[in-house]
Structure 1
Amino acid sequence: MKRETLFNDVQEQFHATPEYLWSNFPRYAVFRHHESAKWFGIVMDIPGEKIGLKTNEKVDVLDVKVKPEHVEALRKQDGIFSAYHMNKKHWVSILLSGPLPIKTIQELLAESYKLTS
């Protein structure tokens, strides 16, 4: 899934637009609830080695919140990793250029939206 496709999906489904909060990380984009301003997702471009890949090239990841009892099983799937820069008991990182189907990414994002409501 491309970053732009994800942004369009989030706009359409959740009426949220990416917010760029850090000038020193201009490609980090946060998705928030309108009512509470809680985050339900963050897209970052990070060196692949930060999530266990064998490359230092930057990759796009999406961090989403999941039920703690699902974290371990999710991390066993190709393309899902321990959360980068978020609580690893409640969040996972999804490699956007990875093998996960778009539908699975959309479902995980929807779950994150519900869990952070």
Structure 2
Amino acid sequence: MNRQKLINLVKTHTNSFEDYPFNKKNSHEKIIWTAIKQVSNKKIIALIFEKDEKLMINLKLEPQHGELMRSRNGVYPGYHMNKTHWNTITVNKTDVSKSELINMIRESDKLTQ
């Protein structure tokens, strides 16, 4: 999956919009962050980024679910996020299926409403 397909996947399964609030012209940040936000309250549902040539997504999960998912290949505590609630999935290097990823996206959507 590429970055645009992942952005479209999140937007398809949520009532959201794409934003780039962390990518200012004078920023020292090298990572391009795509924030997918709720239309209703502008809270972040997902952060999509590439690091070390790997496509990643940060999603909010219930703590117990996040801990369970971290036992899976390619799922880690949230990069630059609260480690209890946020999880990073290395999209193309994980054994998480597309349907499981969609369920995680929906959970993050629900938790950020």
> What TM-score range do you get, normalising by the shorter chain?
0.7 to 0.9
Deviations 1:27-48 (A, max 9, x none): 21001111111111101112xx
Give yes or no for contact 2:13–2:105 (8 Å, CA) kept in 1. Answer: no
Name which of structure 1's ranges 80-89 and 68-77 shifts more when overlaid on structure 2: 68-77
In the alignment, which of 75, 87, 101 is matched to residue 105 of structure 1? 101
Aligned residues between the structures: 107
Q: Which runs of 5+ in 1 are unaligned?
A: 47-56
2-11 vs 84-93, which moves further: 2-11
* Superposition misfits of 4+ residues, deviation over 6 angstroms: none
Match of 1:65 in 2: 60
The percentage of counterpart residues that share the same residue type is 24
Residue identity in the other structure for 1:34: V
Shift of 1:113: 0.2
Q: Which residues of 2 match residues 1-117 of structure 1 at below 5 A?
A: 1-21=1-21, 22-23=23-24, 24=27, 25=29, 27-46=32-51, 57-99=52-94, 100-117=96-113
Structure 1 or 2: more helix by fraction: 1
3-state SS of paired residue (1:85): coil
Q: CA deviation at 1:17?
A: 3.1
The root-mean-square deviation of aligned C-alpha atoms, in Å, is 1.6
Report 1 or 2 for greater relative contact order, CA contacts < 8 Å, sequence distance ≥ 6.
2
| TM-score of the two chains, using structure 2 as the length reference | 0.84
Q: Report the TM-score when normalising by structure 1.
A: 0.81
- Distance in 1, Cα, partners of 2:88 & 2:10: 17
